[in-house]
């Protein structure tokens, strides 16, 4: 397990569309090797890092700098904590320059039993002083997979949604109930 990781990448496009076709102009650049035609063609430098403070706490962050516009495009920092076998939480902040957005998000996962985990998250945009979204999830664990039921309300668009996922055991993903985390307490 790594104590500290730091990655830097650069995106430099030689044959990109004219500037007037790149909206928004000051956003980050991304290259997708598996599907290059969907890349976001802007010259940029991107960096991410994570620091494992302890076995139960990780601080992670990333930054994307648009070289052409000489602007910070996006940046994010977050803390993921597991307090005990039943409870974990995350808190993070994301900055998006083009949207004048500064979104703080919190998430909580509580293991009710060996088979059920309840999750809740909420995001608030301090740049626009408005709530962005909130939602809840319920994860049911089985021997080789987990089923996740989600409900979400997007306060910006006024839309609500419900979702259902099946996650095989060992699947890679983010910290929380929508990933391999769904199996962390399965064998106790």
What is the length of the chain? 188
Domain boundary among 19, 44, 72: 72
Work out the average pLDDT over 162-182.
65
What DSSP string runs through 117-170?
EEEEEEEEETTTTEEEEEEEEEEEE-SSEEEEEEEEEETTTTEEEEEEEEEETT
179 within a domain of the structure (yes/no): yes
pTM of the model: 0.70
Residues 45-58 as b/e (b if ≥16 CB within 10 A, e otherwise) read bbeeebebeeeeeb
The string of pLDDT tens digits covering residues 112-132 is: 999 999 999 999 988 777 888
Q: What is the pLDDT of residues 6-50, one digit of tens each?
A: 999 988 878 777 766 666 666 677 666 677 666 677 888 999 999
Show the domain range for 182: 83-188
Is residue 188 scored above 70 in pLDDT? Answer: no
Give dist(CA 157, CA 164) in Å, integer: 21
Number of structural domains in the chain: 2
Give domain status of residue 150, yes or no. Answer: yes
The whole-number average pLDDT for the span 88-115 is 92
pLDDT of residue 11: 82
Q: Is the pLDDT of residue 60 over 70?
A: yes
Q: What is the pLDDT of residue 30?
A: 62
Distance CA 107, CA 104 (A): 10
Measured in Å, how far apart are the chain's first and last C-alpha atoms? 22
């Amino acid at each position: 397990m790594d104590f500290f990781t730091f990655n830097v990448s650069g995106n430099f496009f030689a044959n990109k569309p004219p500037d007037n076709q790149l909206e928004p102009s000051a956003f980050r650049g991304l290259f997708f090797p598996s599907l290059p035609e969907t890349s976001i063609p802007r010259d940029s430098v991107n960096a991410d890092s994570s620091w494992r403070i302890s076995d139960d706490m990780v601080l992670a962050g990333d930054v994307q700098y648009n070289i052409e516009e000489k602007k910070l495009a996006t940046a994010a920092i977050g803390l993921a904590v597991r307090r005990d076998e039943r409870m974990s939480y995350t808190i993070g902040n994301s900055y998006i320059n083009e949207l004048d957005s500064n979104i703080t998000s919190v998430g909580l996962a509580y293991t009710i039993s060996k088979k059920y985990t309840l999750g809740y998250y909420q995001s608030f945009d301090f740049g626009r002083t408005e709530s962005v979204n909130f939602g809840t999830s319920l994860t049911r664990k089985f021997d080789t997979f987990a089923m996740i039921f989600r409900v979400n309300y997007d306060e910006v668009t006024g839309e609500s949604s419900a979702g259902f996922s099946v996650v095989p055991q060992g699947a890679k993903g983010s910290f929380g109930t929508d990933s391999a985390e769904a199996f962390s307490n399965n064998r106790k």
